[in-house]
Amino acid sequence: MSEQIETDQAASGKHRIPRRWPVFAIIAVAIASFLAGGFGGSYQGKLAEVQKNDNASFLPGSAESTKAGDEAATFLNVESIPGFVVFQRTSGLTDEDRAAIGAAQRAVAEVPGVDKPALAAPQYSDDSPQTTANLFVPLVAKENGVVINGAELSVAEKAVVAAAEQAVADREGLTVHPAGPGGLLVAFIDSFEGLDGALLGAALLVVILILLFVYRSPVLWIFPILGAILALGLASLVIYYLAKHEVLTLNGQSQGILSVLVLGAGTDYALLLISRYREELHEYENRFDAMIVAWKESAGAIFASAATVTAGLLCLLFSELNSNKGLGPVAAIGIVCTVVVMMTFLPVSLAAAGRWVFWPRKPKTDHQVDISTHGMWGRVSEAVVTRRRPAWIGATVVLIIGIFGIGMLDTSGLTVEESFTNEPAAVVGQQIYDAKFDKGVGAPAVIVANAAAADQVIRTAGTVEGVSTKPGAICYQVDVVKLAELAKQLPAGGPPAASGEPQCPPANLQVQPINGRTVINATLTDSYDSPEALQTIERLRSALHEVPDADALVGGSSAASLDVQDAAIHDRNLIIPIVLVVIFIVLAVLLRALVAPILLILSVVISFAAALGVSGFAFSHIFDFAGADQSFPLFAFVFLVALGIDYNIFLMTRVREETAVHGTREGIRRGLSVTGGVITSAGIVLAATFAVLGVMPLVFLAELGFAVAFGVLLDTIIVRSILVPALAHDIGKFIWWPSKLASAKD
C-alpha cells in the first residue's frame, strides 16, 4: 500500500485501508460461492419435489385436527384426500352418457395413486332432467406411514381426469371437471408449476431495466444480476436438503417469495456497494484499494441490514403454523446466502474487471467525492432540513390518511375457490358440484371418541346446527379393507349407481374399536372450507367436548382449515411484537443509541399501517378480491418492517458517519444527499421485484406483492426521504442519546 495513497486518504477525511485486510479470505469465499451457487442452480427446479402444500402439514401436533387425524390414521392403512370427478350435460344426461360414466368409473379405478377401496358408485343430481353426475375418487395421501408428496398427487389427479375424459371422449357435449378437496389442492399445487421460472424471469427483466436506467451502463448491471442468480442457487441447494430431511417445511408460497426476496435484497446490497465503490474510484487510482475502502465503509450498513432482516424472519420460528415456521428459515437462508455472495463474489469480480464496467461514465481519480452539496438530492436534502417541521408533519398526515383504509381490509380468510386470481378446472368443477349436490358430502368432520360413548356422540352431533340431518349423514367409519373384500364379489361392472338416500354402513363393514376408541364421520351441510362449515366445526367441538367420558376430538378437512386460521391469528398476535423488539435491539446496537431506534421503529410501523390501509382500499375497490388470508398482516409486517428498516439503516449509518465529522444537523443533510439516489433506486428495485408476485395466480401472493411493493415505495419516498431526516433534524443531537454524539456539536 503506497504512502501517497494513505496521505491522500487522510487528507480527504477517509478511513485508512487496513494493512491486514482479509483479501484472500474474501477471494476464497467468492470462488466457493461461485461454484456452489452455480451448482445449486439446478436445485431450484427440484424444490417442488420437497414442497408440502396441504393444511395438515402446516399444523402443529397440538392442533385438535392433527390429534384427531393421527388417531383416525390408526384405523386405516391408507389416508386419502377426498376428491370428485364431475360430469355434466346441460341438456340432460342420456343413457349413453351414463354408460360412459360407468366406463369412467372403471378406468379411474385403475389409475395409480387412487384409493381404490374407497371409490364409490356414481351419484346423480336431483334435477329433472338429470344434468350432472359425480364419481367420488379419493387420492392416496399417506400409505403405510409414507406421505405422498405434492408432485405425485398432482400426477395422480391429472391421470384421473385424463382417464375419465378418455372414457367419455365420444360423448360430445359431456364435460368433465375435477372437484373436491383433492382437486382443489392439486390446482393449488399446479399453480406453481413452471411459474417459479416465469416469476424469476419477469423479476429479472424488471430489475435489469431499472439497473440500466440507474447505472446508464450496458455492462454494469450484469454483475449484481449474476450475483443474485448465484445467491438463489446457493440458497436453493441448502433449502432442498433441509426440506428433504424435514428440518424445515417448504411450500409453494415460500419458494415464490424466496426468489423475489433474494433478487430484491441482493440488488439492494449491490447498489449500496457499487455506489460507494464509484465514490472511492474518484479518490483512489488503484481500483483494488478503492474496492477495499468501499467494502469497509458499506459493510457495516449491509451486514446490519442483513442481520435485521434475518433476525426478523427467524422470529417466524415462534409460529404455530409449520408453513410460517418454514418461511422464516427459508427466507433467512436466502438473505444469508445473498449477503455472502454480494460481499464476496460481487466486489472481487468488480475489482478484477476494472473501471471499464462503468462505461460510458467511467469514474476518474479527480478527488471530487463530496457530492452532498450539489445534484438533485442535494437540493432535496436542503429543502427537507430548511422546512423540516412542515416536512415531517405533512409526511405524517399523508401516512395517517392512508391508515384510514384499514377498516376496508377483510382478513377473515378466503375459501380455496376464492384463493385463485384465475379459474382452474377444479374451481369450475367445485362450483358445479356445489350447485347440484350436497356441499358437505365427501369431506366430513372426522370425530374420534371413546367407543363406550359413541352413541351419545352421534346423538349430540345430530343436534348441532350445520351438521346434516339426512339419513347416513352421521355414521361409524367404514372399514375399507372389508369393503374392498366385498367389492371383489361384485360383478365386473362394479357397484351400481346409487339411488335413494345414502345409508350408514352395516355393522359388519364398520371399523372396530382400537384401544377403546372409534371413528365417526359427520357430514356438514356446507362446503368444507366455507365460513359456515368452519363455524359448524366450532359448534360441533363445543358440543362434543361436553359429552361425558367421550374425550371427543374433531378433525377432517374443515377442522384443519379452522385450526390453520386460528393458528394464523395466534402467530400474528405473538410474532409482531417479537419482531419489533428484535429489530429495536439490532438498531440500538448498530447506532449505539436509544432515541434514534425508537424513531425509526415508529416511522416504519406507521408506514406499515398506511400500507395496510391503502391495500384494504385497493383489494376491495380496485382488484375486487373477496378478502385476505389471516396470515396476510403477519407476512406483510415481517417483510415491510424488516425490509423497510433497511433503508433507514442505510441512511442513518451514513448520517452517523457524517455526524462524527460535521455534527448532527449537517450530518443529516449530507447523509440524505449522498444516500438519496442509491436508496431510492434500491427501493424501486425491491418494490418492482415484489410487484412481480402478481403474475402468480394466487390471491395471497398478489396481495402480498402489492402491499410490500407499495409499502416499500411509501417507506422509501415518504418515510426515509422526508419524515425521518426532517424529524431527526428537528430533534437534533438528542437522537443519539445516550451515546457521546448526543453531547457533541450539533
**Beta partners for 274?**
none
Per-residue pLDDT averaged across 695-707, rounded? 88
Residues 546, 653 within the same domain: no
Strands 146-147 and 78-81: unpaired
Same domain, residue pair 467 and 404: no
Domain count, the chain: 3
> Nine-digit cell at 9?
486518504
Q: Would the pLDDT of 54 be above 80?
A: no
Q: Does 281 fall in a domain?
A: yes
638 contact partners, CB below 8 Å, separation of at least 6: 312, 313, 315, 316, 575, 579
Least confidently predicted of 4-18, 297-311, 312-326, 727-741: 4-18
**Confidence at residue 666, expressed as pLDDT on a 0 to 100 scale:** 86
Name the least confident of 13-17, 462-466, 734-738: 13-17
Residue 524 has pLDDT above 90, yes or no: yes
**Could you tell me which residues are beta bridge partners of residue 123?**
134
Flag the least confident range among 4-13, 320-329, 488-497.
Answer: 4-13
Residues 540 and 613 both lie in one domain: no
| 287-289-291 Cα angle (round to 5) | 70
* Contact yes or no for 654/674 (Cβ under 8 A): yes
For residue 703, being part of any structural domain is answered with yes
Point out the least confidently predicted range of 28-32, 150-154, 527-531, 617-621.
150-154
Q: Rounded to whole angstroms, how far apart are CA atoms 342 and 679?
A: 17
Question: What's the pLDDT at 93?
Answer: 94
Q: Name the least confident of 606-610, 636-640, 645-649, 728-732.
A: 645-649
> Which whole number is the average pLDDT over 466-478?
90
Q: Residue 452: what pLDDT? A: 94
For residue 196, the model assigns a pLDDT of 60
Give residue for cell 411459474.
195
Instruction: Give the pLDDT score at 493.
Output: 46
For residues 293 and 341, state if they share a domain. yes
Picking from 403-417, 507-521, 545-559, 676-690, which range would have the lowest pLDDT averaged per residue?
Answer: 676-690
Continuous H helices in 592-698 = 595-621, 632-662, 664-691
Residues of the domain holding 543:
444-488+498-555
For residue 429, is pLDDT > 80?
yes
Mean pLDDT over 447-455 rounds to: 94
In a shared domain, residues 517 and 588:
no
Separation of alpha carbons 233 and 37, rounded Å: 5
Return mean pLDDT, the chain.
Answer: 85
pLDDT of 211 > 90? The answer is no
535 and 570 housed in the same domain: no
Same domain, 537 and 571: no
Report if residue 155 sits inside a domain.
no
> What's the pLDDT band for 214 if we cut at 50, 70, 90?
confident
* Alpha carbon separation from 397 to 391, 392, 641 (Å, rounded): 10, 9, 20
pLDDT surpasses 70 at 500: no
In degrees, rounded to 5, the angle at the alpha carbon of residue 679 between the alpha carbons of residues 677 and 684 is 95
C-alpha cell at 492: 365386473
Cell 392403512 sits on residue: 77
Domain identity same for 333 and 404: no
pTM: 0.82
The CATH number of whichever domain residue 471 belongs to comes to 3.30.70
**pLDDT recorded at residue 77:** 75
Q: Specify if 527 maps to a domain.
A: yes
Mean pLDDT of 115-119: 83
> In the prediction, which pLDDT does 519 show?
94
* pLDDT at residue 551 is higher than 90: yes
Same domain for 340 and 479? no
Of the three residues 321, 336, 369, the one that is the final residue of a domain is 369
pLDDT band for position 474 (cuts 50, 70, 90): very high
Q: Would you say residue 68 lies in a domain?
A: no
In order of 17, 131, 132, 174, the CA distances from 91 in angstroms are: 83, 7, 10, 10
For residues 619 and 685, state if they share a domain: yes
Upstream peptide bond of 129 is cis (omega within 30 degrees of 0): yes
524 beta partners = 467
Which of the pair, 249 or 515, is modelled with greater confidence? 515
Residues in Cβ contact with 21 at an 8 Å cutoff, skipping those fewer than 6 apart? 292
| Cell numbers linked to 479 | 372399514
More confident residue, 8 or 281: 281
Are 571 and 655 in the same domain? yes
- The reply to whether 148 falls in a domain is no
Residues 6 or more apart from 164 whose CB is under 8 A from it? 85, 87, 104, 107, 108, 135, 176
pLDDT at 370: 53
The verdict on 478 and 620 lying in the same domain is: no
DSSP state of 21: -
What does the pLDDT read at residue 529?
84
Banded model confidence at residue 219, pLDDT cuts 50, 70, 90:
confident
**Among residues of the chain, what percentage have pLDDT more than 90?**
34
Higher-scoring residue by pLDDT: 633, 8: 633
Q: What is the mean pLDDT of residues 174-187?
A: 88
Q: What is the mean pLDDT of residues 553-565?
A: 91
Last residue of a domain, one of 324, 352, 369: 369
State how far the Cα of 615 lies from the Cα of 704, in Å rounded to an integer.
9
pLDDT of residue 301: 84
- DSSP per position, 195-242: HHHHHHHHHHHHHHHHHHHHH--TTTTHHHHHHHHHHHHHHHHHHHHH
pLDDT score of 161 more than 60: yes
Residue 203 maps to a domain: no
Among 708, 700, 709, which Cα is nearest to 324's? 700
What pLDDT, on a 0 to 100 scale, did the predictor assign at position 365?
78
Domain for residue 85, yes or no?
no
Q: What is the pLDDT of residue 528?
A: 86
- Within a 10 A sphere around the Cβ of 375, how many other Cβ atoms? 14
Mean pLDDT of 262-267: 86
Q: State how far the Cα of 389 lies from the Cα of 728, in Å rounded to an integer.
A: 10
Question: Contact 551/447 with Cβ under 8 angstroms?
Answer: no
User: Do 509 and 486 form a contact (C-beta atoms < 8 A)?
Assistant: yes
What local confidence, expressed as pLDDT, does residue 486 receive?
66
Lookup result for grid cell 451448482: 39
CATH code of 6's domain: 1.20.1640.10
Which of 283-287, 380-384, 589-593, 639-643 shows the lowest per-residue confidence on average (mean pLDDT)? 639-643
Per-residue pLDDT, 7: 39
